[in-house]
Structure 1
Amino acid sequence: MVKKIAKAVGVDMGEEDPAEQKSLSTLEEKYSQQMRQIFPVKIDLPWLTLRTQIEEQIELRPDFQRRDRWNDSKRSRFIESVVMNVPVPPVFLGEEEYGKYVVLDGRQRLTAAYKFLTDELTLEGLQIWKELNGLTFSEIKKKGFAATIERRFLSAILLTHESSPEVKYEVFDRLNTGGIIAEQMEVRNAIFPGPFNQLLHSLSEDEGFRRLWGIPSSKDSAALEKNVLYRQMDDLELVLRFFALRPGTLSGMRFKDRLSDVMNIKNSDYKKNDKLAALDSELFKRAIANCITVFGDDAFKPNKNPNKKSNRSAPYADAVMQAFADHDNVVFTPVVIAKLKKIFTELVTTNRAFMDAVGKGTNGESAIKNRIRLAKEAVNSVLPAPIVKQKKVLLRRKKAAE
């Protein structure tokens, strides 16, 4: 789903390479690797106590909810369905710690319920129960009609604390294929909360990043809400890709598993060392600034033919970002920029290995290794040693002098 939507707005997010999926040698090995424990519990949330449960137990995380938010008309229609006792899909909760839950799917329904029960929602646009239009929950209560709602239950499925984050992701990935609309990054966003996830949100608002991906500024909220990359949280995945592919390899994982693994690891690392976030932020912003310096708004567009649709490409962006990230911006002189433009034009038009790496099975291990390696070699053939390598050399010299 996410790939189809992204391509509809001219962004190639990459694709898995079936040939890269490694087969396990024995059934026992496969069992030990994949048969991880899942602990689901079916529960009913009574509307009578739902407000208290949300305030004390269920973390809605309004700042990190899906971006295709419901308006008051949609919220009102949901409340009308509850009054009519129309069956609604269950919400899915993950137990982060005992007795404390995070919403994995169904945040809009729970948010609508909470806004209604706290009188933040005035019902509107109801077609069946028109008598309730213009009323809040307290006003309905005064009319003696609240019991109609309070006697209802909201179904929920809880993945208990014993279930690992990786298992929770896999469960919701499969639910997604079964028809429940939850994009992969939306699921990661819910399952892997923490300081690294907060950094992804912050970096996705970087003006240079949004400029290169054609995402409107936060100042134009109406245009931003209409942008598919923003609404489906693909912008967060594009930032995450940069950090996940820093080593130039998937470390033996599937692409989507590597993305989840990095979120989990970096959340943990940031909690141990709060300086890491600033270093990662500097690295990402330097890569973006260098891309703009060299290529301008076309930095992530491998096809520069004016007579052909020039889509932005996430696989191509992987290569360019990683190749430029470790270089200081001052080294990009006009002469250097001209040489780099020529080299990258040759990469995307005559270098078959690079062209395949950004166009076929792009989220497979070999494609990722090839495109990042070739891009780095191209940049390093023009520029002096990257910042990271220079620092390592200076450190070795310092130690030798001592």
Structure 2
Amino acid sequence: MSLIDEVNEKRKEIRTDDYAMSISEWVSLYESKEVDIHPEFQRFYRWSDIQKTNLIESILLGIPIPPVFVSQRKDGIWDVVDGLQRLSTIYQFMGVLKDENKNNIEPLTLSGTKYLPSLEGKRWNDPDNEDNSFSQDLRLIIKRSKINVSIILKESDETAKYDLFQRLNTGGSDLSPQEVRNCILVMLNKDFYTWLQELASYEPFQECISLSDRPLKESYDLELALRFIIFTLIEERDLHQLGDVGIFLTEKMRLLAVDDDFDKAMWERLFKRTFDSLQRELSEDSFKRYSVTKQKFTGGFLLSQYEVVAYGVGYNLAKNIDLKDIATTAAGIWSDSRFTDWSGSGITATRRLPRILPFGREVFNGSN
């Protein structure tokens, strides 16, 4: 098939429409629950009040706002694919935004800006101080301002909205790769996302990975839990077809989330057995570099150590193999060139995993 044939074929799979809508119409859709902004996403987006104020300022000044992308579900409701933070900011400012538990979120109080310093302290409606409330003419400017919407229609390929979400929220986005995956999971299968969240919150796991605040804030613990599920029992032949590991993780996650046969109970048992074992023997040293000269574990979390130790222990536990002296084995890999040659800086995960994952399975096999 030629390139133009491929283009024409794929264009048929995505049906779209677009037009301009007033902010008043956007609010009406939200209040009637005809647009789903997924309140669970709020924890992943990190706009400051200054950034939110800048959006309201742009609307007041007539500066065009980027379009909102939505996907039309089979029931006709729109899923917001891109533009959630813009809509959430507007809804919060106007006092209609609700959280995951359907409670009202504290309305936004604006800050003064370079062009509109008098925005300082202003609110859509301040019952305690009328002078801080937006006047009727300012409210009408907001309500009548338009934001374009681009709609992926329900006749489109089922995966189109997830592909679009990933493209629009990767790269220059404020979201981490796992936060993008979390949003896709919420749209695909919220129960699977909740389950993964519960795994990542398991106390022995948290103790073993011992992450600092920033990676935790960016959901790196959920990524590590997801990596455990995807790589612990992966067939070795599949490791040579990884390509970009980030894309591989996302695609595998999407498949698992819609797989009715995925055995969550089995995986939860294996996950907890693995990290219970590691907590007993290594605790917060589980995934740190071992200094042969100092004879101790040092530094912070190391992904290559996690890939050998967590996957190696988990794989052998799944095979009902009796593990012996996990701590000594974990320290010993730092004296083995099969690990050290492939775990240094500059070695990509695509090249590293096919080498060190089978190594981890072998060294933690207590029957050897």
Q: TM-score range by the shorter chain?
A: 0.7 to 0.9
Please name the residue that 2:101 is paired with.
none
SS in 2 for 1:137: coil
SS in 1 for 2:91: helix
Does 1:123 pair with 2:109?
A: yes
Please name the residue that 2:62 is paired with.
85
Q: CA deviation at 1:165?
A: 6.1
Q: CA deviation at 1:376?
A: 1.7
- Cα distance in 2 between the residues matched to 1:361 and 1:170: 28
Residue segments in structure 2 that go unaligned for 5+ positions in a row: 97-105, 127-132
Q: CA deviation at 1:185?
A: 2.3
Query: Under a length normalisation based on structure 1, what TM-score does the superposition of the two structures give?
Result: 0.70
Q: CA deviation at 1:49?
A: 1.6
Please name the residue that 2:200 is paired with.
204
- Cα distance in 2 between the residues matched to 1:234 and 1:199: 16
Code of the residue aligned with 1:47 in structure 2: it is: I
Please name the residue that 1:324 is paired with.
313
- Cα distance in 1 between the residues matched to 2:305 and 2:6: 36
SS in 2 for 1:209: helix
- Cα distance in 1 between the residues matched to 2:21 and 2:181: 24
Please name the residue that 2:99 is paired with.
none
Q: CA deviation at 1:73?
A: 4.3
Please name the residue that 2:227 is paired with.
241
- Cα distance in 1 between the residues matched to 2:42 and 2:336: 44
Q: Is this contact kept in 2: 1:66–1:231, CA < 8 A?
A: no
Q: CA deviation at 1:311?
A: 4.1
Code of the residue aligned with 2:202 in structure 1: it is: D
Please name the residue that 2:147 is paired with.
154
Query: Quick check: 116-125 or 195-204, which moved more?
Result: 116-125
Match of 1:50 among 26, 30, 44: 26
Question: Please, what is the CA RMSD of the aligned residues?
Answer: 3.7
Does 1:286 pair with 2:273?
A: yes
Write the deviation string for residues 110-158 of structure 1: whole angstroms up to 9, x where unpaired.
2111112226414232234444544432454664431111111223433
SS in 2 for 1:88: coil
- Cα distance in 1 between the residues matched to 2:145 and 2:297: 56
Q: Is this contact kept in 2: 1:68–1:231, CA < 8 A?
A: no
**Structure 1 segment 1-400 matched on structure 2, within 5 A:** 31=6, 37-55=13-31, 56-118=33-95, 120-127=106-113, 128-138=115-125, 140=133, 143-164=136-157, 166-175=159-168, 179-193=172-186, 194=189, 195-215=191-211, 227-249=213-235, 250=238, 252-254=241-243, 255-269=245-259, 272=260, 276-304=263-291, 310-325=299-314, 327=317, 336-337=324-325, 340-352=326-338, 354-359=339-344, 361-364=347-350, 367-382=352-367
Aligned residues: 336
Q: Is this contact kept in 1: 2:50–2:111, CA < 8 A?
A: yes
Judged with a 3 Å threshold, the aligned counterparts in structure 2 of structure 1 residues 310 and 45 are, in CA distance, closer, same or farther, namely farther
Q: Is this contact kept in 1: 2:70–2:149, CA < 8 A?
A: yes
Code of the residue aligned with 2:289 in structure 1: it is: P
SS in 2 for 1:125: coil
Query: Under a length normalisation based on structure 2, what TM-score does the superposition of the two structures give?
Result: 0.75
Query: Quick check: 118-127 or 301-310, which moved more?
Result: 301-310
Q: CA deviation at 1:373?
A: 1.9
Code of the residue aligned with 2:268 in structure 1: it is: S
